[in-house]
Homo-oligomer: A and B are copies of this chain.
Amino acid sequence: MSLCPRRLAARQRCPHMKIAQVSPLFESVPPVTYGGTERVVSYLTEELVRQGHEVSLFATADSVTSAHLVPALGTSLRKGTAVPSASSWLSCHVIELGMVADLADTFDVIHFHTDYLHFCMARQLPTPHLTTLHGRLDLPELQPLYRYFNDLPLVSISNSQRAPLSWANWRATVHHGLPIDLYGFEPEADDYFLFVGRISPEKRADRAIEIAIRIGLPLYIAAKVDPADQVYFTSYIEPLLDHPLVHFIGEIREGEKHSLLSRAKALLFPIDWPEPFGLVMIEALACGTPVIAYPHGSVPEVLEHGVTGYIVSNQEDAVAAARQVERLDRRDCRAAFEQRFTAAHMTQAYLKLYERMRDEPRINGHAARHPEARLTAGQPQAPSPR
């Protein structure tokens, strides 16, 4: 039940840790365009390296990193094809996890960002590990899964994200962070609003359009349309794009996003779903741009109503907020970003967890686990079907 001598010695010899970051393979790390998870993995990885840790990044071969890159796939899935098939998606992630398992004993801690695919092998890993869940957790089939693996240590990216699995083995909420100098502060705004994200029913670009038109100011929409959302786009959003105030500019690169974000009067974030984090909100804050958002998911954790933006519950309030958004001090937005949402903050929080994981008592190389999590031979429990 005590720290094994090898680990103890390693720890005394060197305060720096050997850390594996395991990224999804949908996009390169960092992604060229859209791709929240891979971008956060990149920020965390680079900051860990900057602080002197020895980081191995499991990611696509076209990733760019100062860590040691372990290439699990030649080209990112989305680059290879717009819609990766279930089989090609699965097979490359199985390879990646096999690589992680093969190298596991060379790390002090393994940090998975690959959803739950690795759960089947996680208890057998000889190394402390941690999983950050980046997606929504309100799918019914996740209940039996997380109940069965209720000993695996998890990190949420907002407190609200946990709600459907509030009883799971959460070790912390770690909000996303951006490199402090990634987006520069811009004290002056131009007279337009901005919508950034995917075009999908839960992002409600239609609400953003309505708000801008009612105010009478231009709206720029920087958004990608996934093939899955093409019908929604054609049926519901495209007809709204004819208005002279509405400018649809499609998917954009980081640099373009910065210019657009930094000169916007406000970012409109009128979502209609439990957004797990919403990276674009802190990107806006980093520029000094306030955010007008609906109160779903992480929004109340990220924004301070009346300081860094307005949290509104209907279109009337949204229009009123947009009309008076100049009252907010853009310096307060930037300050909130620097105080809470930098990559250094995020990295500090993860490092604290890594150290705690590394130092936890382990049995036979595995973390001490809840007794009920271990299936007793002869008395298995069938999870409910869904």
A residues at B contact (CB < 8 Å): 61, 68, 70-75, 80, 85-88, 90-92, 94-95, 97-103, 106, 116-121, 123-125, 139, 141-142, 144-145, 148-149, 374-375, 377-378, 380-386
Contacts and interface: CB of A to CB of B under 8 A. Distances in A.
A382 B74 contact: yes
A124 B123 contact: no
Pairs A-B, 6 closest by C-beta atoms: A121-B121, A71-B382, A97-B120, A74-B385, A88-B141, A61-B382
Contacts of A145: 91-92, 94-95
Contacts of A72: 382-383
A111 to B, nearest CB: 17
A98 B382 contact: no
Nearest to A380: B70
A57 to B, nearest CB: 11
B74 A383 contact: yes
A74 B386 CA distance: 8
Contact of A101 (B94, B100, B106, B120): B120
Contacts of A88: 139, 141, 386
21 contacts: A61-B382, A70-B380, A73-B383, A74-B383, A80-B386, A87-B141, A88-B386, A91-B144, A92-B383, A94-B117, A94-B119, A95-B144, A95-B149, A97-B120, A99-B375, A100-B120, A102-B123, A103-B375, A121-B121, A121-B124, A124-B125
Nearest to A102: B375
A123 B68 CA distance: 23
A186 B328 CA distance: 87
Contacts of A80: 385-386
Contacts of A378: 68
B144 A92 contact: yes
A380 B118 CA distance: 20
A377 B18 CA distance: 13
Nearest to A118: B120
A143 to B, nearest CB: 9
A78 to B, nearest CB: 11
A385 B120 contact: no
Nearest to A126: B124
Contacts of A117: 90, 94, 120
Nearest to A145: B91
A367 to B, nearest CB: 14
Contacts of A380: 70-71, 99
Contacts of A94: 116-117, 119-120, 145
B374 A102 contact: yes
A352 to B, nearest CB: 26
A283 to B, nearest CB: 29
A320 B343 CA distance: 74
Given A92-B141, A121-B101, A141-B92, A74 B377 contact: no
Most chain B beta-carbon neighbours within 10 Å: one of A94, A106, A381 = A94
A74 B106 contact: no
A108 to B, nearest CB: 14
A73 B385 contact: yes
A95 B38 CA distance: 26
A27 to B, nearest CB: 13
